[in-house]
Amino acid sequence: MNGRLTRLAARLGERRRLTDPLLAALVPVAASSLALAGLTAWVGTGNAGSPARIRVTEGRVLLPATGSSETAAFFRITNEGGSADRLVAVTSTDAPGGVSLARHRMRSGTTAYRSSIDSIEIRAGKSVAMSPYGVDLTVPAPAKEWRSGDLVHFTLTFSRSGRVTLPAVVVRPGTVAFQQ
């Protein structure tokens, strides 16, 4: 009887040496399969989103006032994709010095102030319409005079979508309506 128990214990020991590694491997395989199934369902329902698709239109630069060292530029930025993006930099070879992003805020009464900002978020499926009442670009006025109808070229750099280069038309202040 003692010999039978010894043989039985030996066989059970051999089985454990075979089944323990298989069970140890089964846990990560099951977890990975479950994660893959969840991601497949998420993508299948359209909730995973698509890359940001940026479209920039309606470029305008206000004609600088006589003697003014800077002016403002405005664009409409539309994100037709499924993921947010950020406008992180703007340059212009037609304007001396650096173009900066700014936000305008109203104080009590009729006064406003401008503060520099680092970036502008463009949410998925949304638009940002730059205006004197929100975000805009502060542009140094050139030494040569711009005239109404001139084109000023800008390169807008987005964190995910890269660079978009396009012209903005110089317009006289008061000739363009902005949303508040």
Q: What is the pLDDT of residues 115-159, one digit of tens each?
A: 888 999 999 999 999 988 889 999 998 877 889 999 999 999 999
Alpha-carbon distance of 176 to 29, in angstroms, equals 62
pLDDT higher for 154 or 23? Answer: 154
CA distance readout (Å), 63 to 8, 93, 159, 177:
96, 17, 29, 15
DSSP 8-state symbol, 34: H
Closest to 180 (Cα-Cα) out of 90, 119, 78, 112: 112
* β-strand pairing of 54-62 with 162-171: parallel
pLDDT band at 85 (very low <50, low <70, confident <90, very high): very high
Between the CA of residue 107 and those of 24, 112, 162, 175, what are the distances in Å?
Answer: 65, 5, 35, 25
Q: What 8-state DSSP symbol labels residue 141?
A: P
Kindly report the pTM of this predicted structure: 0.69
Q: Which amino acid is at 82?
A: G
Q: What kind and span of H or E run contains 159?
A: none
